[in-house]
Amino acid sequence: MRLGFDLTLEQAQKLIMTPELRQAIQILQFTSQELWQYVESQMEANPLLEMENKREPEENIEEIKNKNEEIDWKEYINEYDDISYASSYNKDEKETTFESYVSSPTSLKEHLLFQLNLSILDKKQREIGEFIIENIDKNGYLINNIEEISEQLGVEPKHVENVVKFVQTFEPIGVCARDLKECLLLQLELKGIENSDVKAVIKNHLEDVAQNRIAKISKELNITVQNVQWICDLIKSLEPKPGRGFAHDSDDIKYITPDVYLYYVDGEYIISVNESSTPRLIINNYYRQLLTRTSDESTANFLTDRLNSATWLIRSIEQRRMTIYKVVESILKFQIEFFEKGKQSLKPLTLKDIADDIGVHESTVSRATNGKYIQTPRGLFELKYFFSSGVSTGDGGISSTSIKSIIKEIIDEENPKKPLSDQQIVKILKSKNIDISRRTVAKYRDELGIPSSSGRRRF
């Protein structure tokens, strides 16, 4: 074996991830909000980039003259009073004010403080009431106990207790309770329900109500099963969280802007990529002209580099738009029955199916569907929604989402006095040519938030 240093030529294929390619992959994966943030950062770093400003075409001077000739000046002058020159005011016309655009929903604390200020209390009681309201959480429950509040305010516990009971009479019913039992009992009291059996169930059997243990409650309270069923229905009609109907400072509502719209027009589906969710970038004309006029080499090199970067970014955004369009077009081809008939017609679909159809890699389809939403005639869906596993049937296959929809429909139509067991649901599905196990039915039922047959039974 000879050891030495030699110069040899070899030919090999390698995939090199250039910065431009990494940028294109990253842009494809961005959601619309992340894309806008990324573009804004790029515009700060690259002076050649600017947002396209769609301006209205300027009017021709001849068109302006024609408009002026069409004005009826006599009618225009008659709208003014001869003395005051005050313009006529149409009372039927709605006046646009700042409040028409800016509004603030009322919070629970504001609602309670408003009622407190309308009540007849002395100054000390009002201070205690304000402190109590500030210690009520977003669900309407009092966080601190009476002793802690009395110690912090330096007053006797009985005075705090009196004000707490007074605040508990405010709307919404059940507010300022210290636990769930007190909240439900307050609602019964304010509604005028004085049934001792109902109070006994709330105090001692709330867990049994949640688990639908009707027979156990009936045996322990020595009342009929039908009476217990009525009590459970009454308790379930009460509000466990009185404050959840009000706005809160911690609420951070994020609204979804669809990336794609699907319209049904004249018997066919039309795909439209949301232009507002995609930034429209152009090259700044001043720097473009400066590049051709400058004689300084360093300036020319800088502008050329920035121009190439800006051009690639614009091309990557356009490529992202076209990729999303192709993916949605392919999804529409595979899931056309879903858009025509509903959830029960959703077919099993994988990323590979779409990738093979449009001629790209699976990872590209995954990035194009991640965090993207489509507005359809059947509602708003994430693109990932259309990809699901399923089971084979005589007709080809059915997705797990469709099976869940069928299970929910079967349970909705069952006799509540004799609810179907999971095994009975398996037999019904088998009659529909859907062969799945009892364990799978139980899994899908749990994912739908539907209790077992014992929990659904009504007496």
Where residue 411 sits, what CATH number does that domain have? 1.10.10.60
pLDDT of residue 64: 47
In degrees and rounded to multiples of 5, residue 419 shows phi and psi of: -65, 155
| Same domain, residue pair 283 and 373 | yes
Which pLDDT tens digits describe the chain residue by residue (459 residues)? 566 677 778 887 776 767 777 878 888 888 888 888 888 888 888 888 888 765 444 445 555 455 555 555 555 445 544 444 444 445 455 555 555 555 567 888 888 899 988 888 888 888 988 998 998 888 889 888 888 888 888 888 888 899 889 988 898 888 999 889 999 999 988 888 888 888 898 888 888 888 888 888 888 888 888 898 898 889 888 899 888 887 765 555 667 888 899 999 888 899 998 887 777 888 888 888 887 887 788 888 888 888 888 888 888 888 989 999 999 999 999 989 888 888 878 888 888 889 999 998 888 899 889 889 999 998 899 998 888 776 655 555 677 778 888 888 888 888 888 888 888 888 888 888 888 888 888 888 888 888 888 778 776
Helices (H), 335-456: 336-341, 351-358, 362-369, 400-412, 422-431, 438-447, 453-456
3-state secondary structure of 207: helix
Residue 308 within any structural domain of the chain: yes
* Same domain for 403 and 283: no
Question: For residue 442, what are the domain limits?
Answer: 398-455
Residues 421, 352 within the same domain:
no
Q: Phi, psi (5° rounding) for residue 376?
A: -120, 170
- Are residues 379 and 407 both part of a single domain? no
Residues 339 and 434 in one domain: no
Position 276 in a domain:
yes
Q: Same structural domain for residues 329 and 440?
A: no
Give the pLDDT confidence score for residue 81 in this predicted structure.
Answer: 47
In a domain, 282, yes or no: yes
pLDDT at 456 (0 to 100): 80
**What does the pLDDT read at residue 253?**
63
Predicted pLDDT at 396: 57
Q: How many CB atoms lie within 10 A of CB 216?
A: 13
Residues shown for the chain: 459
Kindly state whether residues 423 and 373 are assigned to the same domain. no
Tell me: do 340 and 418 sit in the same domain.
Answer: no
Residue 429 is assigned to a structural domain of this protein: yes
Of 331, 362, 388, which residue constitutes the final position of a domain? 388
Domain count, the chain: 3
Residues 326 and 384 in one domain: yes
In a domain, 383, yes or no: yes
Q: Do 355 and 440 share a structural domain? A: no
End-of-domain residue from the set 388, 423, 438: 388
The verdict on 448 and 409 lying in the same domain is yes
- Tokens at residue 136, please? 């009520």
Of 184, 205, 226, which residue is a domain's last?
A: 205
In a domain, 9, yes or no: no
Residue 87 has a pLDDT of 45
pLDDT of amino acid 138? 87
Is 221 a domain residue? no
CATH number at residue 167: 1.10.10.1330
- The verdict on residue 165 lying in a domain is yes
Quick check: pTM over 0.85?
Answer: no
**391 CB-near residues (< 8 Å, 6+ apart):** 397, 398, 400, 403, 434, 435, 436
192 and 311 part of one domain = no
